[in-house]
Chain A
Amino acid sequence: MEDKKNKKQAFSRRDLLKGFATLPVIGAFGYGMFREWNADRLRQNSIASELGLNFDEHPIAVPSKSDGKTLRIGIIGYGIRGEQLMRAAGFSRPELVDDWKRGAQRNVNDRRYGDYQEQEDLNIVITAVCDLFDVHAENALKAASNSNRSGVDGPMNQTAKRYRRYTDLINADDVDAVIIATPDHWHARMVVDAAKAGKHVYVEKGLTRTVEEVFDVRKAVKESGIVMQLGHQGRQTASYNKAKEIIDKDILGKISLIEVCTNRNDPNGAWVYDIHPNGSPETIDWSQFVEPTNPHPFSLERFFRWRCWWDYGTGLSGDLLTHEYDALNQVLHLGIPHSTVASGGVYFYKDGREVPDVFQAVMEYPDRDLTFLYSASLASERFRGKVIMGHDASMEMENTLTVTPDNRSTRYKDQLQAGVMSSDKPMITYIPGKSNVDAVTSATEQYFASRGLLYTYVQGKRVDTTHLHIREWLNCIRSGEQPSCNIDQAFEEAITAHMATIALRENRKVFWDAESEKIV
């Protein structure tokens, strides 16, 4: 211990031995680490690359065509969804902008204000609004004026005119295209009239309330050549594109069963929307509201919670089965099922509604050798995702993707035996926008977010899918291309949903006669 001073230059053998005594530990560690890393790499990354998947690359944003001429848009229906669509298009009421601003000041995770301000300018102007409820119409006018995306103190540009009847809006000279976010019983008439007037259409799902209307809409859209986009914003979800890649590469093997679900458990999610305190026969044009459907005395509940009655919509089929179906149709090109059975009932919300709050539909695709199962409850939030079950692997398809090999897979037999793969570990996971998780507000929003219906990630940045969906529609209007959820996709979606509705209401198995295009 005291011999140091004599040996300042050279180390003794003893010094070297003691100095490097623990170095072999690093060697052992490195060996173990290498083996582990190798196994992990084999298990995950190389599976993806051997299968020809590149999971590092994020989808590239389609270049915007917003530099062309300014499009003049009319909005028909400014309820809950209408307001969301206007926000996605870049026009929000100043009061809402102030709300988000305050939210961001209180909570750094509240990114609504920042996201809204960062949203791309789509080079449109809102020239016309139409709503049968005065308050909603006034709100729409305020939103239309707020092209600067400012709060109540900001400068406004009055650009829009209010129309009391949608036909006047559609025929106005200063309207190039319309966004339709009315209750479903109005969709068909409006799309048909808009198409006849040569106005492009963005229409919310479900496409129509009745089967006949689906054919009317298709005929009018095809004949006029307008650009129509159906409001399934899931078309823009990054993970669904990756899911399609996985399916196209046949990684799951033969697919025999698909299970999709809706699980919500709050009144808002069950269509018990707020009844506006100013709603009254004086402020609501009720006779126009019921024009295309069965007459009924004035009812605030029916006006604000229309989804609960067959007169105005088709319940779970049109509202939520359609979202799940369209996601799968996008990935698998399922088309219309050969047959459908359905069942359900009003089991929880005994508030006078007609449409079931628990609903299951089983759709058969004998040509594809698979069954498509939809199961829904509005009275339980237990999460059950979209699962595609194949002989070799199954895939859970949400905002993230998880592919897990099947224990009895033929294709992965060797890897399973060698322990490179295991049926209790995913072999592929895809997480867009990884470490970005943000605060979303209501339970309904959370539900949509978890299903990729609210946000997606483009090159690691969170983007509202509805914004991308509207953006795609506008791009197509400018370029003359077809959008992703065009009339053919919409037709398949609508017929599929109607088959489930008819099977439930008539309590029978319904078939699609593809030759004569009839539900029998």
Chain B
Amino acid sequence: MKSEISYSKAQLVILVSSRVLIGWYCLYEGMIKWINPSWSAFAFLNDSQGWLAPFFHSFAANPTSLSVVNFLNIYGLIAIGLGLILGLFTRMATVSGIVLIFLYFLSHPALINTSYMLPSGESAMWVNKNLIFVFLLLILLVYPTGDRIGLDRLLFNRFKN
């Protein structure tokens, strides 16, 4: 299971730290939604702009799809966060994170002359924090560390014939 790449100590420390920090960020985003019973993705979805806006608006319009989106966001973020911090099912957590955050990026692209109701606290043109997040996770995907520092090390070692 272990990847073939060999890391220097410094490389490993930086990669694992990045993984834990991103995991922390996602876990908190999920937990804060989880403890707030009235949280809903409704406003975020409705605030969507750009060429995919109708797609995101349609999720907000239907109570069933909205509750699915809410559920996936809350528990998805928590699971991704725990996975990245603990190095548990790291690959799946990383890929899910990439998909989820890329959806955030697509729903709120940093287009020229576009402003959003929900404050993001950033000034951005085309490139924004979500896009950088996606690429950070892509780095973690091609330089995996869960099988060295993380529970994957134990998990996948144990079940190897």
Contacts and interface: CB of A to CB of B under 8 A. Distances in A.
| A, B co-complexed | yes
Interface of A: 1, 4, 7-8, 11, 15-16, 18-23, 25-26, 29, 33, 37, 40, 108-109, 431, 434-437
Contacts of B85: 22, 25-26, 29
A25 B151 contact: no
A108 B161 contact: no
Contacts of A20: 151
Task: Bin the interface of chain B by size.
Answer: 20 to 34
B28 A18 contact: no
Contact of B150 (A7, A21, A435): A21
Contacts of B157: 4, 7-8, 11, 15
Contact of B38 (A23, A40, A434): A434
B62 interface: yes
A11 B38 contact: no
B45 to A, nearest CB: 10
Interface in B104-161: 148-151, 153-154, 157-158, 160-161
23 contacts: A1-B6, A7-B157, A8-B157, A16-B154, A18-B150, A18-B153, A19-B87, A19-B149, A19-B150, A21-B16, A21-B149, A21-B150, A22-B86, A22-B150, A25-B85, A26-B85, A26-B86, A29-B85, A40-B35, A108-B61, A108-B62, A431-B38, A437-B42
B20 interface: yes
Contact of A33 (B16, B20, B31, B160): B31
Given A18-B149, A22-B16, 18 more contacts: A4-B160, A7-B157, A8-B157, A8-B161, A11-B158, A15-B154, A19-B154, A21-B16, A21-B149, A22-B85, A22-B86, A22-B149, A22-B150, A23-B86, A26-B85, A33-B31, A108-B61, A434-B40
Contacts of B38: 431, 434-435
Interface string B45-86: 010000000000010011100100000000000000010011
A457 to B, nearest CB: 13
A431 to B, nearest CB: 6
B13 to A, nearest CB: 11
A482 B158 CA distance: 75
Contacts of A4: 2, 157, 160
Contacts, number: 69
A25 B154 contact: no
Contacts of B61: 108-109
A435 B28 contact: no
A15 B46 CA distance: 47
Contacts of A33: 28, 31
Given A22-B86, A29-B85, A435 B42 contact: yes
Given A4-B160, A22-B85, A29 B153 contact: no
B93 interface: no
A37 B36 CA distance: 10
Scoring A18, A22, A23 by chain B CB atoms within 10 A of each residue's CB, the highest score goes to A22
B101 interface: no
A33 B82 CA distance: 14
Contacts of A1: 2, 6
A435 B71 CA distance: 14
B98 interface: no
Contacts of B66: 435
A111 B152 CA distance: 50
B24 interface: yes
A25 B16 CA distance: 12
Interface in B84-104: 85-87
B40 A19 contact: no
Contacts of A23: 86
Contacts of B40: 434-435
A37 B153 contact: no
A434 B39 CA distance: 9
A193 B108 CA distance: 62
A40 B150 CA distance: 32
Contacts of B86: 22-23, 26
A501 B153 CA distance: 81
Contacts of B158: 8, 11
B42 to A, nearest CB: 5
A25 B42 contact: no
A106 to B, nearest CB: 12
A11 B154 contact: yes
Contacts of B150: 18-19, 21-22
Contacts of B87: 19, 22
Nearest to A37: B35
A20 B150 CA distance: 6
A40 B31 CA distance: 13
Contact of A26 (B16, B35, B82): B82
A434 B58 CA distance: 18
A8 B28 contact: no
Nearest to A109: B61
Nearest to B46: A437
B148 A18 contact: yes
A37 B58 CA distance: 33
A37 B34 CA distance: 11
Nearest to B16: A22
A103 to B, nearest CB: 14
A21 B20 CA distance: 11
B103 to A, nearest CB: 19
A471 B63 CA distance: 27
A18 B156 CA distance: 14
